[in-house]
A and B are shown apart, each in its own frame.
Chain A
């Protein structure tokens, strides 16, 4: 192989190949960084609300002074629900179900304090709850109820109550490990359950329990027939859609503007990352093109050598090998460099993330590795095939 390489490396143009190397490196870094950045930012959103899908809104009717005075219901009628389901921006609609029984919760913080409060439960259909599905179940007869609490309840305690009373602060982890004592009563029945806090939501301002429990408990302890829903959860396909805001305004509905904004940000971010990655892809494709041109030029310049090697008895596979190794080697090098750069850049921005979001779980880099390896394979396989075809055309060239 040595002598063959000595022959075939003639006419290798260092500037051309470094040009390819740089161009492909830029393209690859942009693509991989796009993938990684997206994964990291997504994780940022997820760590906020790991159990909720991102693009949803919570819609209710505006409560004005007149509502209170006239006692007019703020519940959604069946027609109104059907109407919103028909809108183009809507993917899925779920109704909040509220408890029609009495709930009392209490818990102790070691020997420091004990709390007891009247409260309520709400539920949304389970397909709006994303992760932790394995915990999100209630089996009738069991004494465990999974609960998702609003994060600002915890903030209220930590920064308000605990601060003023010199009580210990509670982290989400500690609270998750504690059990709430839940007393449920109604219909002449009284039962005590263990409330298991499986998560905190900063997007849902209510105390959530699984749909199964709500369904069952309303029948078991419920006072009367089902209550009309006053809030609904709506999954939208594009949160930046202007029709959403105008529809809500028209019908005198309200949604939490922050949530809408967060969804918008996430959506815009996705679009931007998509655009940036496309630019990277275009650069990579151009770089690939440069490489192919360089290799073709090289093969062209060394045609007589390649031909003589074939006539001496070297197989097309053996003759193709040096150039195939050259291109694959370059591709692997580009991949490794690109990956190293991505790791460095990531360390920079992750440091920034951490200063904003303390509770941030760094996701793994698998997605990036997979995308990188797939690109590497795709480019390398095309190179190998192209070189082989070029050599075969030399073989056949004289066999007119």
Chain B
């Protein structure tokens, strides 16, 4: 997947609003592979909705979203499964980890599906993010900040052309936020992938090619 296009996209909940001024909604926007984008937003402007639309999780919007000029509303279930496994990764704001499983199991459940990352690499990331002692701790017992780091590692356990990261550092300190940014850009560069980051204030510090205001 080389390109994601948004054409006149508007969440249904905003359809009555007249005072909308946004770089994304009701605009023609392109995200290209290999580039890094930041979408800055105030709370309630539809940041998480944007991610959900692109990820095919929700479709309560008007307008069109296209992957390489194919409207995603026409994409089949099997194709979506492939896309989520091979082309598009997502770090959810609400993380969507499994509290019953340990940190490592949460990563494994993805990596066993894709077989993409080596165990050594995963351990290295746990180490870098300062949670290597939490590998075998149940997610339910970890702080939100720690969980965010596990969720990032899980998001990197697959090949992707684009990675969407929805408020990845909301609960992280400067140092960890910086390390996370480094891991993310490094892996994205290695894969030649596009990165789309959203933020409502604190943002992950990487070099953005373009900044949108939602």
Contacts and interface: CB of A to CB of B under 8 A. Distances in A.
Interface of A: 3-4, 6-7, 10, 305, 308-309, 311-316, 392, 395, 398-400
Interface string B95-112: 011101100010011101
B67 interface: no
B98 A7 contact: yes
B152 to A, nearest CB: 14
Interface string B105-130: 10011101110000000000000000
B58 A3 contact: no
B114 to A, nearest CB: 7
A7 B108 CA distance: 13
A311 B98 contact: no
21 contacts: A3-B101, A3-B105, A6-B105, A7-B100, A10-B100, A305-B98, A311-B55, A311-B57, A311-B92, A312-B84, A312-B96, A312-B110, A312-B154, A313-B114, A315-B78, A316-B77, A316-B81, A392-B77, A395-B77, A398-B58, A400-B60
Contacts of B59: 399-400
Nearest to A305: B98
B85 interface: yes
Given A3-B105, A3-B109, A400-B58, A315 B100 contact: no
A3 B112 contact: yes
B156 interface: no
B148 interface: no
B90 interface: yes
B85 A398 contact: no
Contacts of B113: 312-314
Nearest to A392: B77
Interface of B: 52, 55-60, 77-78, 81, 84-85, 90, 92, 96-98, 100-101, 105, 108-110, 112-114, 154, 158
Q: Which of B56, B58, B81, B110 has the most CB of A within 10 A?
A: B81
A280 B185 CA distance: 65
Nearest to A304: B96
A312 B78 CA distance: 14
A108 to B, nearest CB: 82
Contacts of B92: 311
Contacts of A313: 81, 84-85, 110, 113-114, 158
A3 B57 contact: no
Nearest to A309: B109
Nearest to A4: B109
Contact of B96 (A311, A316, A395): A311
Contacts of B110: 312-313
B85 to A, nearest CB: 4
Given A311-B96, A313-B158, A315-B81, A6 B57 contact: no
Nearest to A307: B96
Given A313-B110, A313-B113, A392-B77, 16 more contacts: A3-B101, A3-B105, A6-B101, A7-B100, A7-B109, A305-B98, A308-B96, A308-B97, A308-B98, A309-B109, A311-B55, A311-B90, A311-B92, A312-B110, A314-B81, A398-B58
Contacts of A3: 101, 105, 108-109, 112
A144 to B, nearest CB: 70
A342 to B, nearest CB: 41
A302 B18 CA distance: 41
Nearest to B85: A313
Contacts of A316: 77, 81
A317 to B, nearest CB: 9
Given A6-B100, A316-B77, A399-B58, A311 B108 contact: no
A398 B108 CA distance: 26
A-B residue pairs, 6 tightest by C-beta? A313-B85, A313-B84, A315-B81, A308-B96, A3-B109, A399-B59
B145 to A, nearest CB: 20
Contacts of B58: 398-400
A311 B97 CA distance: 11
A395 B78 CA distance: 12
A395 B97 CA distance: 18
A395 B58 CA distance: 10
A339 B203 CA distance: 65
Contacts of B154: 312
Q: Which of B56, B105, B108, B109 has the most CB of A within 10 A?
A: B109
A3 B101 CA distance: 8
A398 B51 CA distance: 14
A309 B100 CA distance: 13
Contacts of B81: 313-316
B184 to A, nearest CB: 18
Given A3-B101, A7-B98, A7-B100, A312 B55 contact: no
A302 to B, nearest CB: 10
A315 B114 CA distance: 12
A6 B105 CA distance: 10
B25 to A, nearest CB: 19
B122 to A, nearest CB: 14
Contacts of A314: 81, 113
Nearest to B73: A399
A303 to B, nearest CB: 13
Contacts of B96: 308, 311-312
A329 B39 CA distance: 49
A314 B81 CA distance: 7
Nearest to B60: A400
A309 B98 CA distance: 9
Contacts of B90: 311
